[in-house]
Structure 1
């Protein structure tokens, strides 16, 4: 943790997630790594911990390894928003109406899975179904939202609905948008508390969790794999890689298929209740319709605005100041009255995107994987962890609708998204053109 300074930062502002004030990820007490384990899971985020929980409850010996403390990555850094996957409908329709129904339908199972785990394991993470509103930046985009709803309703039931501009102040206190789309079933939670609760639940079930255990190599071995953590070796009968946007060169197959993208957030200082009532009257999860997406929400206690979007600056000096200033500028477009409200937190994390904009799970040369949540990973990562664990157990339950999707890369892509700056500039240009 480091303090950050600048004209829009509060005194004592920090460059760590707001979520960490209540639940900073911490490594388990140091113990020796086992020489062997029935199952080794690389990555202790939503995916890895849900998989560990399912496997350990089934009686498997499970070892979970993470380069940092469990939950340190995107799982404790995101916006804490989860809901039905209506946004995947048009992409899924490339595989036909039946597949689209199955993919979107599974998003409801994923959301219910999180609810069930939170209730069963008594995880205090402020989970609440509050709904979602996505504002249309132009009248044409509002009409496009309506056309998408029409396409969905021709294939399957959908409870999302349009909110015209004349009524949008009932959803959000801004005049920026031209109406928008509301989704009642959306939920919010405290992601750091959720992932900490998952780690505790997996430990109770018998899984061994190791932080500060960076996996440096994976090699096939007779009847399984050898997993290297520095100079130490663990013999594993089964192996799951659940590192998503942090995979890197550990598994070249995934490195060529996952696009690591950084996303950043800011948190305001506490606001008076009457201001929060005006800006976020329903305390919903919120977003704009730009291609270069912004997303925002109230803090779980309803006292602050948390606002997220793309990272402007990755390296060099004053990274926090530059990125926080960029996000603050976008926040003030939505809520101009926050001009004098200081920021108390800035942070960023690394998400995993895919070229087809859909997540994937499966098995490659005996190594299981689940990844590519495209910025909407809480429910799907949790569900994918559970589903890939069932597959590892040889479960006869219905397989995931995602299991047979082709997982493709692109020529000349080897894990470093050299095209991202150009793509962001292009999409920002399109956003400005549409909003002209």
Structure 2
């Protein structure tokens, strides 16, 4: 944890997730690395832990390995927003209306899966269905939202609805947007508490969690696989890679198909309740319609605003101050009255995107994987962990709609997104042009 100093930081501001104040990932579950396990899962986040829970309940011997501590990565650093996947509809329509309907329907199953796990394992993570509002930054964006709703309703029922500009103050206290889209079924939770609760649940189920194991080699053997961190090794009949945006060179097949992208979040100092009620009257999950996405929400206790978006810098001494200032500037575009509010937390994490903008799960040369959540991973990652575990068990009653999707890379891409600055610049230019 690093104390932050800048004119807009509070005196006690830190470079650490706000979520970690209540549930900082630790290596307290650390254990000795066994010589063999029926299943080895690399990655102790939402995907890996949900998979471990399903496998353990079916009687499998499971070992989860994590380079840091369970949940240290994106699972405890995200915005804590989860809901039905209406945004994937147009992308999924490339495979036809039946596939689009199946993919969106599965997003509701994913959300319900999280609710069920939280309830069954009694995880205290502030899970609440509060709804979602996506503000249209231009009148054209508002019209596009309406056109998308029409396309969806031709294929399947949809309870999302448009909120015109004249009524948007009932959703959000700003004049920055030109109306927007509301989705009632959206939910929010405390991600660090959720992943911590998952870790304890899988431990109770008999899973061996070993922290501090950065896997560097995965080798096929006659009886299965050998997984190694360079010093220690473990044999396994089955291996699941659940590392998403942190996969790196461990497995070139996935490295060529996952685009690691950093996203950052700031948290304000506690705000007066009247201000929170005015700016976020329904305490919904929120976002803007820009191509370079911004997303924000109230803290679970309703006292702060958490505001997220892309990072400007990834290296350098001033990376934190630069990125925090950028996010603060975007926040003030939406909420100008927060100009005097101090920033108490800044943090960033790494998520995994795909070229087709859809997540994927499956098997390659005997290795199972689930990844590529494109910034919407709480429900999907949890569900994919459960579904890939069912596939590993051979008891999958209903295959996932994602299982038969082609998982393609691009020419000249080998894991380093050299094209990303150009893509972001292009999207930012289009956003600025639209807003003119």
For 1:418 and 1:311, the matched residues in 2 are separated by: 15
- Tell me the secondary structure at the aligned position of residue 424 of structure 1: helix
The answer to whether 1:100 aligns with 2:100 is yes
Note the residue ranges of structure 1 that are not aligned, 5 or more in a row.
Answer: none
Q: Give the equivalent residue in structure 1 for 2:292.
A: 292
SS across alignment from 1:415? coil
Aligned to 1:205: 205
Deviations 1:325-375 (A, max 9, x none): 000000000000000000000000000000000000000000000000000
Aligned with 1:134: secondary structure? Answer: strand
**Which runs of structure 1 show a deviation greater than 6 angstroms over 4 or more consecutive aligned residues?**
none
The Cα RMSD (Å) is 0.5
Task: Kindly report which structure 2 residues correspond to 1:37-436, keeping only aligned pairs within 5 A, or say none.
Answer: 37-436=37-436
The 5 Å alignment of 1:11-22 reads 11-22=11-22
Q: CA deviation at 1:32?
A: 1.7
1-structure distance, mates of 2:10, 2:248:
35
Distance of 2:396 and 2:8 partners within structure 1: 55
Distance 1:41 1:199 in 2: 13
Listed one character per residue, the Cα deviations across residues 294-338 of structure 1 (whole Å, up to 9, x for unaligned) are: 000000000000000001110011211110000000000000000
How far apart in 2 are the matches of 1:332 and 1:208? Answer: 46
Separation in structure 2 between the aligned mates of residue 396 and residue 188 of structure 1, nearest angstrom = 29
* Paired residue total: 436
| Contact 1:28–1:210 (8 Å) recurs in 2 | no
Once the two structures are superposed, residues 367-426 of structure 1 have per-residue CA deviations (whole angstroms, 9 ceiling, x without a partner) of: 000000000000000000000000000014100000000000000000000000000000
Measure how far apart 1:30 and its partner are.
4.0
Q: Secondary structure at the match of 1:70?
A: coil
Kindly indicate whether the alpha-carbon contact (under 8 Å) linking 1:260 and 1:353 is maintained by their aligned counterparts in 2: yes
Q: Structure 2 unaligned segments of length 5 or more: list them.
A: none
In structure 2, distance between residues paired with 1:411 and 1:84: 32
Matched position secondary structure for 1:202? helix
Does the CA contact (< 8 Å) of 2:67 and 2:214 recur in 1? Answer: yes
How far, CA to CA, are the matches of 1:378 and 1:8 in structure 2? 31
Contact 1:245 1:352 (C-alpha < 8 Å) held by counterparts: yes
Q: TM-score, normalised by structure 1?
A: 1.00
What per-residue deviation string (whole Å, max 9, x for no partner) do you get for residues 77-98 of structure 1? Answer: 0000000000000000000000
Q: Deviation string for 1:112-171 (max 9, x for gaps)? A: 000000000000000000000000001111001000000000000000000000000000
Quote the Cα distance in structure 1 between the aligned partners of 2:311 and 2:29: 34
Q: Deviations over 1:272-308 (max 9, x none)?
A: 1100000000000000000000000000000000000
Equivalents in 1 of 2:84, 2:30: separation in Å?
A: 39
Task: Find the aligned partners of 1:214 and 1:299 in 2 and give their Cα distance.
Answer: 32
- TM-score by length of structure 2 reads 1.00
Tell me the CA shift for residue 223 of structure 1.
2.0
